[in-house]
Amino acid sequence: MIEVVDLVKSYGQEIILKNINCSFESNDAVVLLGPSGAGKSTLLRCLNGLVEATSGSIYMDGKKLPTNKKEIRFIRKNIGMIFQNFNLVKRLTVLDNVLCGRLSYNPTLPSLFKVYKKEDYELALHYLEKVGLVEKRNQRADSLSGGQMQRIAIARALVQQPKLLLADEPVASLDPKTSHSIMDLLMEIYEEEKLTMIITLHQIDLAPKYSKRILGLNSGNIVADYRSDQVNASDLYRLYENNQESGEDRKHEEQRHDG
């Protein structure tokens, strides 16, 4: 279980998250939905320790998320992260990119020379098979399509064998057909691996289909908490009303600070 208590994140005078309180049960599938700049990505990055909150606390299985970098590195072994822009090393092969997900399980020096354990290779090939790209394992990552790159990123997250899977706008840069394919894959993995999964989206049509629960964010606040099987489109469209600041301005602010 994950519990977020009185979480605030600000950059100077700009408050991105305003006293957020929420929780996520084990094996939950939650979409964070709302306009650009609402704070979705910042909340997700706080959960992963990529962004340090200004105040408030995050608890995972009753333990407070640390701020010490060494301790956070240990916690991240249990948290897989998927990014909108894939975050692949494009000059490396598909297999080497997936093996990067095992870095926290291995000493630094052997990893620098791409020396991994036999079980690391077995895991990487297993998840490449699962995402349908094992035959491309020796190709460079930059030779693949956007949808294929996102599948590599998913496999990289899964080789960590995480308990929690976070996906930040995983289909924002993909066409509609590929978007549904990637979301279908994420839900299949969620069900098979029995993960807790939290995804940020801005596509209203995708949110109910690919979640059990929808948290609505607007202007740094949680403004709604819906069961996905009971919500209607008009409820979701209301999340985009009365955004207090320019969505594009807030989006640029988050990207600039969150990296």
237-255, pLDDT tens digit by residue? 999 886 655 343 344 444 4
Q: What is the pLDDT of residue 227?
A: 96
Do the domains at 1-29+40-67+212-233+243-259 and 75-199 have one common CATH topology?
A: yes
Q: Which residues contact 91 (CB under 8 A, 6 or more apart)?
A: 140, 141, 142
Q: In the chain, what are the domain boundaries?
A: 1-29+40-67+212-233+243-259, 75-199
pLDDT at 74 over 80: no
Predicted TM-score (pTM) of this structure: 0.88
pLDDT higher at 229 or 71: 229
pLDDT at 185 over 60: yes
**β-bridge partners, 59:** 3, 64
CA dist., res. 141 & res. 145, Å (int): 9
Q: What's the one-letter identity of residue 125?
A: L
CA dist., res. 125 & res. 137, Å (int): 8
* CATH class of the structural domain 75-199: alpha beta
Q: Give the whole-number percent of the chain exceeding pLDDT 70.
A: 89
Q: Give the whole-number percent of the chain exceeding pLDDT 90.
A: 75
Q: What is the pLDDT of residue 244?
A: 55
84-96, pLDDT tens digit by residue? 999 999 999 999 9
Q: Which CATH architecture has domain 1-29+40-67+212-233+243-259?
A: 3-Layer(aba) Sandwich (3.40)
**β-bridge partners, 116:** none
CA dist., res. 24 & res. 142, Å (int): 35
